[in-house]
Amino acid sequence: MNSITRPEQLRPDENWRQPTRISGLIFAAKAAGLRAQRRLTDILHPVPKLGREQCEILPVLLAESVTPLWSDPRQSEAGLQFGKVENLRRAARHFDGVVIPAGEIFSFWKQLGKPSRARGFVAGRILKEGCMVASTGGGLCQISNALFEVALKAGCPILERHAHSRAVPGSAAQLGRDATVAWNYVDLRFRAPQALQLKVGLSAARLTVQLYGRAQRASILTPVLDVDVDLDRRPLTPANDCGSCGQTGCHRHEDPLKKLGAPRVLGRTAFLLDEAWPEFRAYVEQRRAPGDRIGVPLDGQRWNKPRYAWSTEGFDRPVTATLTSLIHSLRGRRHAANGRRVAAQLQRCEAVAKRLARTLTPDVTEVCVAQSLLPFLWKMGVLGGRRVTVLMTRMPMEKLQSRLDRAAKAHPDRATLADFRAPADVVAAEKAALEAADRIVTPHALVASQFPGKAELLDWHMPSALRTPRTPKRRSIVFPGPSIARKGAYEVRALALKLDLEVVLLGSDLEGEGFWSGLPVRHATRTDLNWLREAGLVVQPSLVEEQPRSLLAALAAGVPVIATPACGILPKLGITLIPENDPEALVEAILAHTDVPPRYTSGHTTLSQQGHLSAAEAS
């Protein structure tokens, strides 16, 4: 396919004239005619829109382009720089993951569609009649430049490509490897010599475009150029900037002092939050600045929901997902099985994330986001081009599920260890988002240890100490629970049966009726502080634990606590830590704090050695 004519032809600089309203009308008329010509051509010779269906793994990185996002540091240009990055962010979603079958044609505009305001595109700079002017969709040439570069490197026959008429800031025009685009008549098209897949993403500072294939680089042919591509073209004259060219008599001249859309602040932070942990409330309060934005599931203070009691005062245009949160809360209550409840929680997080994404206006350059919302915002592509801080409440899904898989294999009789696994695409999205994140913030010590070099470990919020004297029961242990395998319920039950201990349960019975049969069991509520006054020992041998509030309350009250590192509390707080899946260590720790008859402790013989624990219980 040969390159079609466009109204902005490459011409000597001395022939360039200052644009006028008449020249603008002529340009618009020519562009309208060329758009009509292109539509007719596409009807007669249609080019398919490519999908993401992948029949095979394409493991070889054939080509890569990495370019800076922020090309103009001037304060007067900040608004349009934000707009350019927003346009790149939206465009990247349409190209990332696209598979180009062998022999198929890739078309920039067929893949992206029209960059209109209705589709979320905003004003950025474009080259028009030799000048950089503000226009919806401005800045997309950075992606077309990168696509052209990787297509050349990968040996793709170039079917259509147009060079810029002037040097554009941040483009590769000086190197002759640029490819300008203008809807819909100035396109970039190339043919895939083999099956290819695009990877397009934005970090906080860079746009990365990669092209993967099956064959090694050595077997890629030299680029076949079906259009004239001058890779050694002479340096171009820089384009005029309508905001700084000084041509005050031009009808396109922009007064920097009166420029519409000029940002009030040079970037801002958006806080997209979920549960209002006290540690995170303090962190947000310390970090927030005037003009920052906030999105929360609902107004916890208005709805009397302490779980979501975030302060929104002083934030710019707070966004809530009240109706979405209430609907999904009602749906979640209908599910009795733990696995179905967790699945419902994921659905709620996805719905809330979509609503709170409205907080991310183009001038948001930093995002502080709850872990529960992270994978869904990543899949939406709205985190690209922004610095991301993650408020983490638990282990990453990939590692958490790996822990549960190993435990389920070791204990096939414990069905709840395998009752739910998150969809693979959600797990992969969370992993990619965490790798790209700039900072991880959490009070959970085990979670923080997974991210050396970029984790900030917060102090746990310690409850107030009890004001009344404690009267602990020495042969009674408290199990915060809930009663489910991943929280150590089976280990606690086995030890209590052999040691004849009373168990005080604070959580619900998720392992079913009869789980605690044969044991002296007493139920208490977390809000009733009587359990703290009578507790002689708190035991939580968890495999998974997110928010150890009951353990922290016990430590604050002076109650001995035995737990695993999975609970996320450091030894400096006075907790006794034992290895996970180590019944011997658990026995020794409990014997050290419990009034047990001599027959269990004589000679310091462990219960498993005396035969008081079965082989399955000891493992």
More confident residue, 12 or 41: 41
| Residue 106 β-bridge partners | 190
Q: Is the pLDDT of residue 300 over 60?
A: yes
Q: Of 1-10, 353-362, 462-471, which has the strongest mean pLDDT?
A: 353-362
More confident residue, 242 or 376: 376
H helix or E strand, kind and range, residue 365: strand 364-370
H helix or E strand, kind and range, residue 599: helix 598-601
| The pLDDT of residue 267 | 87
Q: Kindly indicate the confidence band of residue 263, based on its pLDDT and cuts at 50, 70 and 90.
A: very low
Q: Is the pLDDT of residue 209 over 90?
A: yes
Q: Of 208-212, 224-228, 474-478, 607-611, which has the strongest mean pLDDT?
A: 208-212
**β-pairing verdict for 196-202 and 206-213:** antiparallel
| The pLDDT of residue 473 | 83
Please give the average per-residue pLDDT across 599-609, as a whole number: 42
Q: Decide: 374 and 433 in contact? Cβ < 8 Å.
A: yes
Residues of the chain with pLDDT > 90, as a percent, come to: 62
185 vs 189: CA distance, rounded Å: 12
Rg (CA), the chain: 31
- What the block records as the tokens of 71 is 């090309």
Q: Is the pLDDT of residue 395 over 60?
A: yes
Q: Is the pLDDT of residue 401 over 80?
A: yes
Please give the average per-residue pLDDT across 598-609, as a whole number: 43
- What the block records as the tokens of 14 is 């001395």
pLDDT in tens, 322-340: 999 888 777 767 765 667 7
- Using alpha carbons, select from 508, 520, 503 the residue that is nearest to residue 481: 508
Q: What is the pTM of this model?
A: 0.86
Omega of the bond leading into 338 within 30 degrees of 0 (cis): no
Mean pLDDT of the chain: 85
| The pLDDT of residue 618 | 33
Residues in the chain: 619
| The pLDDT of residue 244 | 62
- DSSP secondary structure of 457-500: EPPPPPPPPPSS-----TTEEEE-S-BSGGGTHHHHHHHHHHHT
- What the block records as the tokens of 494 is 């086995």
What's phi and psi for 407, nearest 5 deg? -65, -40
Q: Is the pLDDT of residue 115 over 70?
A: yes
Residue 120 gets the label, from left (phi > 0), alpha (psi -120 to 50) or beta, of left
H helix or E strand, kind and range, residue 190: strand 189-191
Q: Is the pLDDT of residue 317 over 70?
A: yes
Q: Kindly indicate the confidence band of residue 77, based on its pLDDT and cuts at 50, 70 and 90.
A: confident
294 vs 474: CA distance, rounded Å: 48
Q: Kindly indicate the confidence band of residue 21, based on its pLDDT and cuts at 50, 70 and 90.
A: confident
Q: Is the pLDDT of residue 409 over 90?
A: yes
3-state SS record for 299-335 = CCCCCCCHHHCCCCCCCCCCEECHHHHHHHHHHHHCC
| The pLDDT of residue 1 | 39
613 vs 300: CA distance, rounded Å: 47
- DSSP secondary structure of 103-136: TPEEEHHHHH----GGGT--EEEEEETTEEEEEE
Instruction: Give Cα separations from 369 to 97, 322, 440, 449 (angstroms).
Output: 25, 18, 10, 19
Q: Kindly indicate the confidence band of residue 9, based on its pLDDT and cuts at 50, 70 and 90.
A: very low
Q: Is the pLDDT of residue 520 over 80?
A: yes
Instruction: Give Cα separations from 472 to 520, 565, 588 (angstroms).
Output: 17, 25, 20
324 vs 335: CA distance, rounded Å: 18
Q: Kindly indicate the confidence band of residue 529, based on its pLDDT and cuts at 50, 70 and 90.
A: confident
| The pLDDT of residue 596 | 60
- Using alpha carbons, select from 115, 198, 204 the residue that is nearest to residue 156: 198
What's phi and psi for 577, nearest 5 deg? -100, 135
Q: Is the pLDDT of residue 24 over 90?
A: no
- Helix, strand, coil tally for the chain in percent (to 5): 35, 15, 45
pLDDT in tens, 172-196: 544 567 899 999 999 999 999 999 9
Residues of the chain with pLDDT > 70, as a percent, come to: 83
| Residue 269 β-bridge partners | 366
103 vs 92: CA distance, rounded Å: 23
Q: Kindly indicate the confidence band of residue 556, based on its pLDDT and cuts at 50, 70 and 90.
A: very high
Omega of the bond leading into 482 within 30 degrees of 0 (cis): yes
Please give the average per-residue pLDDT across 88-99, as a whole number: 96
| The pLDDT of residue 11 | 41
Q: Decide: 243 and 254 in contact? Cβ < 8 Å.
A: yes
250 vs 247: CA distance, rounded Å: 6
| The pLDDT of residue 173 | 46
| The pLDDT of residue 68 | 95
More confident residue, 464 or 265: 464
> What CA dihedral angle connects 578, 583, 589 and 595, to 10 degrees?
160
